[in-house]
Structure 1
Amino acid sequence: MNIELKEKLEKFYDEQVWPHMTLGEFIEDCAKKYRDKIALVDGVVELSYQELNRKACHYANGLLKAGFKKGDRIVLQLPNCHEFVIILFAMFKIGVIPVLSLPAHRKNEIKGILEKSGAKAYIAKDKYLGFSYVDMIREVREELNIDFEVYILGDNQGYKNFYKLNDKDYSSQYIDIDYKEMALLMLSSGTTGSPKMIPMKHCELICSAIAIGSALNYSDATIYLMALSLSHKFVLSYPGIIGVFYHGAKCVISMTPSPDEIIYNIEEHNISTMALVPALASLCMDFLEFEKINISSLKIIQVGGSVLEYNKAFEIEKSFGCIISQLYGMTEGLVMCTRFDDNMDTRLNTQGKPVSIGDSVKIVDEFGEEVNTGDYGELLIRGPYTMYEYYGGMNDVNNSILDKELYFRTGDRARKLSNENYQIAGRVKEMIIKGGEKIIPSELENLLLKNKKISEVQVVGVPDEILGEKICVCILEKDKNLMFSEIVQTLKETGIAEFKIPDCMKIIDNWPLTATGKIDRKRLIENYGN
């Protein structure tokens, strides 16, 4: 890594871009400025800015009393709820590092996350959408030779009660935390049993939230619906709840990402903005066809997570009766989006422009040379909230993710238009995006090959109108006696997340090959329907 260039860039970010504030100080400041204004709504629970900050202090006290200290990691696997927001800011206050896991992660992922992070504790709800996290973590503890505490929100079944961390009497201790220190660890898209974890600084998270909120005209009148998981950066700081809180606005929690709950919340709470992935937007549109519900309060919907086709973007604006903001962003960094006042062609046909003065983008060919405006190439990014390396000594990966000018290689195919907006056309990498969730084919292939009936296998993403892509398992003719149900069962027994379970199977006579003798995955996808 070019250390001299890194220091020069960070000097600029520190002087011109980064807020000089930790997230613990941020919520304190919000409580002072906005006091009794409602910050968070979770069903019948309403918390003002002062109440939210006070509860975060109580839980910070409880964590300290329980023996946690600055730098300790705690895995959070909670659905959207006010307790999630409280414990998150409690940890920010004392320098304990949250490791954010999705509710959809299962045993295989959680084992890898606990091992790689070196977490001292795991916090989860007892059950969510019919799945028992208590049963899962019991299996994880039996299989892992590491020691960690377990706190359960709900029926704790012998584990520690989450609410016992709520300590109103314990005297606070001053914890010296710098705004440039790591605030949390978030998982890279497509997390496997050996996860890639992204370290994020306090100033980076606040910086991105302010920049995107400004680009989308957030104000104190904004009412934001948290429809996707708070464990996604999209909902945390793009601009997410941090952007909402910065403006003293209101955040409403949707307990599940179901279309009926989302649509009814819009009407009940006069929601003005929310973030959706294309697949969920499609489901909401289907729901609206049969339900006459007043959603006229909506002003703008952020849509991101996978490439959005022009026709689908047009349908979303027409169905919801509001403006869409297409967003391209990575957990690893940099966001670009369309603005509220962009013309229709820009909104529906591009992913907009970068949001921060510190963001820098270039598009290169296979030799690393920049291409001309209008030409496609690989998108490379750099900026005040774009990472330099993954957490945990992943030297093999880290050595290949940056170019010599410290631009991060996204693996995404894009082009810059003459009007300075960008179009994202797909992925250079082979990652599958199903309903906004990202799946690495090699993970599934390696797990499937443990089944002795499978001699060779390829996993590809094939087009789907609802999900964007669905997962197709391709096997050879000689393995044709294998039933699709056996493939599903093989993967379920490994404990992987439900969204990684394949949707279909195709039997191939012979693998199509490229000129260099490699399996041609593109032709597998093209021939899926034949």
Structure 2
Amino acid sequence: MLDGCVGWPEDFAARYRERGYWQGRTLGSLLRERAKAVPDHTAVVDGARRWTYRQLDDRADRLASGLHGRGITAGDRVLMQLPNVAEFLALSFALFRLGAVPVMALPAHRETEIVHLARLSEATAYVIPDTHLGFDHRVLARTVCAEVPSVRHVLVVGEPEEFTALSAVGAKDDGAPVTEPHPSAVAVLLLSGGTTGIPKLIPRTHDDYAYNAIASAVVAGLDATTRYLVALPIAHNFPLACPGVLGTLHAGGTVVLSPTPSPDDAFQLIERERITVTALVPPLALLWLEAAEWAEFDLGSLELLQVGGSRLKTGTAARIGPMLGCGLQQVFGMAEGLLNYTRLDDPEPLVLETQGRPLAGDDELRIVDADDREVTPGEVGELLVRGPYTLRGYYRAEEHNPTAFTPDGFYRSGDLVRQLPSGHLVVEGRIKDVINRGGEKVPVEEVENLLLSHPAVHDVAIVGIPDEALGERSCACVIAHGPPPTRAGLNSHLTRSGLAAFKLPDEVRMLASFPRTSLGKVNKRALAEQIARSVAR
């Protein structure tokens, strides 16, 4: 383990090895195995570029050797901020084989996040595109170099200016020896997926992340015929390993990279590349459904759409099959570990109304009240989890870890869930997404689901705003579908749906759009602040 990481207790580690979760495989070996088995099969498609498994494997080896020749060695952290380009894959596997640890930043991050991540990880290298979506990352790199002394190398995909072109690293084999890391070593540092604040770093080992990807590939039914579209930012846990890129390559399928998740880009690739599987967050799924009504692309190859990242509302879930012509797999998980999937043979009500059941038999779940007492089966409480691929502590977070984990190693997810007798979870929101209205708790997700069933509501997000008498009052922020509905009309709809009176929104605001995080989630803190400022004015 790297300094600053918390490992599993030895008795748990021994159990996970004995039961086959940890198989002693490195992430670098997953590609190597498949390159030997199907060397000429297409591994990755990036625009006009098509790399076979042999070519990707060779590029990873040469990059690993070239990085080693420049002094980047096992245990070094490398901050990666690349969009969906083929170089991301070659570099990731190079680092996996070298034993250096990629820190997976997102393209949308800017100075605040990147400088923080470089300092926290003590990164020795920073890898960027020259420009992406109009932003010059080389300007940001100069700031990082000035403020973070540990950064010795800046590697650029594209025109490097004063830095080093990534294409020059490993352009030839410099002969530097590379020894693969131990499977229990940290393989990657992922970013926590909260909607606000500076991200924390999540250490994932080769053993646990390989299980994460391989077992997920089985649950999603991936095989050598799979053509997986990376629509979300590739550095995010969902498209990276749930099963994502790593699961697809392990299965011998083909990874197709989309520059953006917009229907304009994605639908064209689905038709041209005969995509069979992809993954989205709920707001993008909603956008795709709207676009499918008028798009003229052939989406007939699409077999499975995974949706995760936040709860998919039941009404939206029910539209996916009829509108996109594919199956739905709901995914509820976290970069910290636990993954839940609806299964491909689940009855339709479970697929539409739940967020799946745990991936591993040794995923241990507790659902507790505010005093950490387990709730009655079927009741709502906070989800706590530990297991063979769930972390035991954030990286270099000694002050935060005691509040994020129980003394016996359960991770406090902050998610409010209830569990059905089948084991499937229904996500009822986040602890912070419960509005305390004069002592009455308003479950935001419940009200949002009912509002979404109103024909004039395209999307909705409910936030709490300060109130002198109640402490908080609820505000429903609505994106209308056609003429905007009135508050009275919405409340009548909610009342007819059987909603308790104290859960009715105190205010309704019509908006054109919601502030969102870089992953497409509604940024509710920013939205609440926006509404509070409006109220103050």
Q: Which interval holds the TM-score relative to the shorter structure?
A: 0.7 to 0.9
Matching residue within 143, 158, 172 for 2:162 = 158
Residue identity matched to 2:531: K
Tell me which residue corresponds to 1:378: 382
Equivalent positions of 1:272-421 (< 5 A) are 272-392=276-396, 394-421=397-424
What are the Cα deviations for residues 165-223 of structure 1, in whole angstroms up to 9, with x where unaligned?
Answer: 12323114141511110001111113877531011101111101111111121121111
Is the 8 Å Cα contact of residues 310 and 521 (structure 2) preserved in structure 1? no
Is the 8 Å Cα contact of residues 22 and 202 (structure 1) preserved in structure 2? yes
Residues 160/508 of structure 1: CA separation in 2 closer, same or farther (3 Å cut): closer
Shift of 1:254: 0.6
Shift of 1:51: 1.0
Give unmatched runs, 5+ long, in structure 2.
1-5, 435-443, 446-462, 464-471, 481-514
Is the 8 Å Cα contact of residues 68 and 178 (structure 2) preserved in structure 1? no
Q: Does 1:245 align with 2:270?
A: no
SS class of match (2:293): helix
- Distance between the aligned counterparts of 1:509 and 1:24, measured in 2? 52
- Distance between the aligned counterparts of 1:192 and 1:168, measured in 2? 43
Is the 8 Å Cα contact of residues 187 and 197 (structure 1) preserved in structure 2? yes
What are the Cα deviations for residues 376-399 of structure 1, in whole angstroms up to 9, with x where unaligned?
Answer: 00011111110000112x112111
Matching residue within 14, 27, 30 for 2:31 = 27
SS class of match (1:333): coil
What are the Cα deviations for residues 477-507 of structure 1, in whole angstroms up to 9, with x where unaligned?
Answer: xxxxxxxxxxx9xxxxxxxx99969468335
Residues 509/113 of structure 1: CA separation in 2 closer, same or farther (3 Å cut): closer
Is the 8 Å Cα contact of residues 208 and 238 (structure 1) preserved in structure 2? yes
Tell me which residue corresponds to 2:460: none
Equivalent positions of 1:209-224 (< 5 A) are 209-224=213-228
Residues 509/188 of structure 1: CA separation in 2 closer, same or farther (3 Å cut): closer
Residue identity matched to 2:398: N
Residue identity matched to 1:200: R
Is the 8 Å Cα contact of residues 195 and 521 (structure 2) preserved in structure 1? no
Q: Give the length in aligned residue pairs.
A: 459
Identify the range of structure 1 (237-246 vs 288-297) with the bigger mean alpha-carbon deviation.
288-297
Which 4+ stretches in 1 moved above 4 angstroms? 143-147, 191-194, 430-433, 460-466, 497-504, 507-511
SS class of match (2:403): coil
Residue identity matched to 1:12: R
- Distance between the aligned counterparts of 2:522 and 2:133, measured in 1? 14
SS class of match (2:32): helix
Residue identity matched to 1:93: R
Identify the range of structure 1 (173-182 vs 243-252) with the bigger mean alpha-carbon deviation.
173-182
Residues 510/261 of structure 1: CA separation in 2 closer, same or farther (3 Å cut): closer
Tell me which residue corresponds to 1:453: none
Shift of 1:5: 8.3
Identify the range of structure 1 (334-343 vs 141-150) with the bigger mean alpha-carbon deviation.
141-150
- Distance between the aligned counterparts of 1:169 and 1:506, measured in 2? 57
Shift of 1:252: 0.7
Residues 58/341 of structure 1: CA separation in 2 closer, same or farther (3 Å cut): same
Q: Does 1:257 align with 2:261?
A: yes
Equivalent positions of 1:119-198 (< 5 A) are 119-144=123-148, 146-190=150-194, 194-198=198-202
Tell me which residue corresponds to 1:43: 47
Shift of 1:250: 1.0
SS class of match (2:322): helix
Residues 176/295 of structure 1: CA separation in 2 closer, same or farther (3 Å cut): closer
Tell me which residue corresponds to 1:481: none
- Distance between the aligned counterparts of 1:4 and 1:499, measured in 2? 33
Shift of 1:23: 1.2
Residue identity matched to 1:406: G
- Distance between the aligned counterparts of 1:387 and 1:422, measured in 2? 20
Q: Does 1:505 align with 2:530?
A: yes
SS class of match (2:181): coil
Shift of 1:418: 2.0
What are the Cα deviations for residues 122-146 of structure 1, in whole angstroms up to 9, with x where unaligned?
Answer: 0000111111111222233344455
| Identity %, equivalent residues | 35
Residue identity matched to 1:398: N
- Distance between the aligned counterparts of 1:414 and 1:122, measured in 2? 39
SS class of match (1:423): strand
- Distance between the aligned counterparts of 1:465 and 1:160, measured in 2? 46
- Distance between the aligned counterparts of 2:266 and 2:74, measured in 1? 37
Tell me which residue corresponds to 1:427: 430
Shift of 1:248: 0.8
Equivalent positions of 1:432-451 (< 5 A) are none
- Distance between the aligned counterparts of 2:68 and 2:533, measured in 1? 58
Tell me which residue corresponds to 2:10: 7
- Distance between the aligned counterparts of 2:17 and 2:101, measured in 1? 22
Tell me which residue corresponds to 1:482: none
Tell me which residue corresponds to 2:99: 95
- Distance between the aligned counterparts of 1:191 and 1:346, measured in 2? 27
Query: RMSD of aligned C-alpha atoms?
Result: 3.0
Is the 8 Å Cα contact of residues 76 and 124 (structure 1) preserved in structure 2? yes
Tell me which residue corresponds to 1:64: 68
Is the 8 Å Cα contact of residues 366 and 383 (structure 2) preserved in structure 1? yes
Residues 461/128 of structure 1: CA separation in 2 closer, same or farther (3 Å cut): farther
User: TM-score by structure 1 length?
Assistant: 0.81
Tell me which residue corresponds to 2:204: 200
- Distance between the aligned counterparts of 1:119 and 1:461, measured in 2? 43
SS class of match (2:278): strand
Is the 8 Å Cα contact of residues 113 and 193 (structure 1) preserved in structure 2? no
- Distance between the aligned counterparts of 2:126 and 2:384, measured in 1? 35
Shift of 1:8: 1.8
- Distance between the aligned counterparts of 1:33 and 1:176, measured in 2? 20
Residue identity matched to 2:406: D
Residues 141/174 of structure 1: CA separation in 2 closer, same or farther (3 Å cut): closer
Tell me which residue corresponds to 2:466: none
- Distance between the aligned counterparts of 2:239 and 2:307, measured in 1? 12
Residue identity matched to 1:377: G
